[in-house]
């Protein structure tokens, strides 16, 4: 049986005309498929507009009510797409996250998928429907809607694909995954294939192509992901198993709005500090610790949006804003000696000061002032021929 899960992002369904185009794409695809499940995001900037409406009423709206509100965005686009398909002669039905069987847990706005009971989806497919599912949402143990956070529709799509045991195709406003954001570097190369770990690093380190949670699910269940332009007429990029014979630096990613945090510890241990930050759900990235003259200086990075949460822990943090994280990613870090040395030499020879650095098995990330971010990017692009 030929089956596929297809996902269209918010820019792909931003207007009625674009919804009609997606309907035509699904109709053409149905000619060669038995079953299609299509996951959609909210139309265009709908999520931001709904947040703005809530903000006009309250400076601190209930997270539970926000999720009730935000869940409606995807319901609108799913319903409209089903109507468009019915109008052109294709059977289609729209299901919200609860109807599609999404069980989630965790705090409102940042829920995680526990399971997907696909019995309703299977039933609708057996009746020859194209099944349109709202991304980004599920039902928690309190029988409340809970959303998955930014990028959650990718996770919804891959979760369904993993339960059905089929490929997942993600259509967006870019035609694949590039070595560098083509808006910054016009000669960036499109990658025909990226392996799972690389894609996760890219997503975690600033590439806004796909949600990292979706790649984690795909890797766990061996689901191949295809990222392509929403016109579905240009060859995109496959995310799958690693080719062990390749050894390359495949991508440069950037994250802005990084927050550098410093604190001198006096009457607390490092463990106590980070336990207290964890209680406030603060996301921590690069950490360094230095002991001098009987004092312990701790530095770590978070994001600017977390500053209020950090300040709840103590009132003597020192904050440095206007910094960015620039990262190079690829399995050459694992398979080729000397990559880190090349990065250090490049920064040193060009007089680039950096606030911190972290490495993983397949990435090197540098924290620099946003003012020099583009210079650092250009240097790395030339050095590693990206």
Binding-site residue ranges? 7-10, 47, 74, 172-173, 178, 183
Q: Are 249 and 384 in contact (CB under 8 A)?
A: yes
3-state secondary structure of 19: helix
CB atoms near residue 337 (< 10 Å): 8
3-state secondary structure of 319: strand
CB atoms near residue 262 (< 10 Å): 15
Tokens of 25: 């794409």
Q: Is 102 exposed, middle or buried (0-12, 13-18, 19+ CB in 10 A)?
A: buried
∠ CA 194-196-202, nearest 5°, is 70
- H or E stretch including 69? helix 63-87
Half-sphere exposure of 362 (CA within 13 A, CB side): 23
Helices 339-349 and 373-383: angle between axes, nearest 10 degrees: 130
Residue numbers belonging to the annotated binding site for substrate: 47, 74
CA-to-CA dists, residue 368 to 259, 260, 327, 355, angstroms: 11, 10, 11, 6
Please name which of 186, 110, 180 lies closest in space to residue 146, comparing C-alpha atoms: 110
Q: Is 315 exposed, middle or buried (0-12, 13-18, 19+ CB in 10 A)?
A: exposed
Residue numbers belonging to the annotated binding site for ATP: 7-10, 172-173, 178, 183
In the numeric block, the tokens 């918010």 are attached to 10
Please name which of 71, 77, 218, 93 lies closest in space to residue 140, comparing C-alpha atoms: 71
Distance separating alpha carbons of residues 248 and 335, to the nearest angstrom: 9
Distance separating alpha carbons of residues 331 and 366, to the nearest angstrom: 18
Termini Cα distance of the chain? 40
Distance separating alpha carbons of residues 173 and 212, to the nearest angstrom: 18
């Amino acid at each position: 049986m030929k089956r596929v899960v297809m996902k269209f992002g918010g820019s792909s369904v931003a207007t009625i005309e674009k919804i009609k185009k997606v309907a035509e794409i699904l109709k053409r695809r149905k000619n060669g498929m038995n079953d299609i499940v299509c996951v959609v995001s909210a139309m265009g900037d709908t999520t931001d507009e709904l947040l703005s409406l809530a903000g006009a009423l309250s400076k601190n709206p209930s997270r539970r009510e926000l999720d009730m509100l935000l869940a409606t965005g995807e319901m609108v686009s799913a319903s409209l797409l089903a109507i468009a398909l019915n109008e052109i002669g294709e059977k289609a039905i729209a299901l919200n996250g609860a109807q599609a069987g999404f069980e989630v847990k965790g705090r409102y706005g940042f829920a995680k998928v526990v399971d997907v009971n696909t019995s309703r989806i299977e039933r609708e497919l057996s009746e020859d429907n194209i099944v349109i599912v709202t991304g980004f949402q599920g039902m928690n143990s309190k029988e409340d809607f809970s959303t998955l956070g930014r990028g959650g529709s990718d996770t919804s799509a891959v979760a369904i694909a993993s339960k059905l045991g089929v490929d997942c195709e993600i259509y967006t406003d870019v035609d694949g995954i590039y070595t560098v954001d083509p808006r910054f570097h016009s000669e960036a190369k499109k990658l025909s294939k990226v392996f799972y770990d690389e894609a996760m690093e890219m997503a975690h380190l600033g590439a806004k192509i796909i949600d990292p949670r979706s790649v984690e699910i795909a890797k766990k269940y061996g689901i191949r992901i295809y990222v392509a332009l929403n016109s579905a007429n240009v060859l995109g990029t496959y995310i799958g198993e690693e080719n062990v014979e390749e050894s390359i630096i495949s991508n440069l990613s950037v994250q802005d709005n990084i927050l550098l945090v410093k604190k001198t510890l006096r009457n607390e241990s490092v463990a106590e500090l980070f336990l207290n930050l964890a209680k406030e759900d603060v996301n921590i990235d690069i950490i360094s610790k230095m002991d001098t003259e009987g004092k312990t200086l701790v530095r770590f990075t978070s994001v600017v949006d977390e500053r209020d949460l950090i300040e709840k822990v103590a009132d003597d943090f020192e904050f440095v804003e206007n910094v960015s994280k620039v990262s190079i990613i690829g399995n050459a870090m694992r398979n080729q000696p000397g990559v880190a040395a090349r990065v250090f030499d490049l920064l040193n020879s060009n007089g680039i000061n950096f606030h911190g650095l972290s490495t993983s098995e397949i990435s090197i990330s540098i924290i620099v002032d946003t003012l020099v971010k583009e210079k650092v990017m250009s240097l790395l692009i030339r050095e590693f021929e990206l």
